[in-house]
Amino acid sequence: MNREAQERWDDDGGANPQNHAAPITGSENSMIDSTASVGANDRTLLLIHLEVANRYFAESEHRIARQQNFISKLREKRLTTRLAVQFLRSLQASRMMHWAGRSRLQRALAILDEKLGVIQPVA
């Protein structure tokens, strides 16, 4: 979503620009599958990507909540919600993509941890 569209739909008066310096490339699984020897650097890279994916997912949750609030306000004023609901659906689809990307990274990290013999703390 571009900045203008985000500002138009943000209920709190404007976008909150975020610095997403480490984009998720989608190649995390292939990195694990195609590498004969894996190490701590691979794990560090996956953890960085997972942190970014978690942030994207949390931001998408926040945007959906704001959009639902905006739709409620429109309904209270008896205004049309058609476009707002369509935008909500696109936010929900985006959230699902963020969830899927995060899940791939979590699986790749679990595979790598198993290969490295890393023991994960019990949550």
User: Could you read off the pLDDT of 3-40 as tens digits, one per residue?
Assistant: 554 554 454 443 343 444 444 455 444 444 444 345 67
- Which amino acid would we find at residue 114? E
Are the CB atoms for 42 and 31 separated by under 8 Å? yes
Domain extent, residue 46, equals 23-116
User: Could you read off the pLDDT of 30-60 as tens digits, one per residue?
Assistant: 444 444 345 678 888 999 999 999 999 999 9
pTM: 0.60
**Average pLDDT estimate for 73-102:** 96
The answer to whether position 102 is within a domain reads: yes
Are the CB atoms for 37 and 115 separated by under 8 Å? no
- DSSP-assigned letters across all residues of 48-79: HHHHHHHHHHHHHHHHHHHHHHHHHHHHHTT-
Position with higher pLDDT, 114 vs 3: 114
The answer to whether position 30 is within a domain reads: yes
The answer to whether position 2 is within a domain reads: no
Domains held by the chain: number: 1
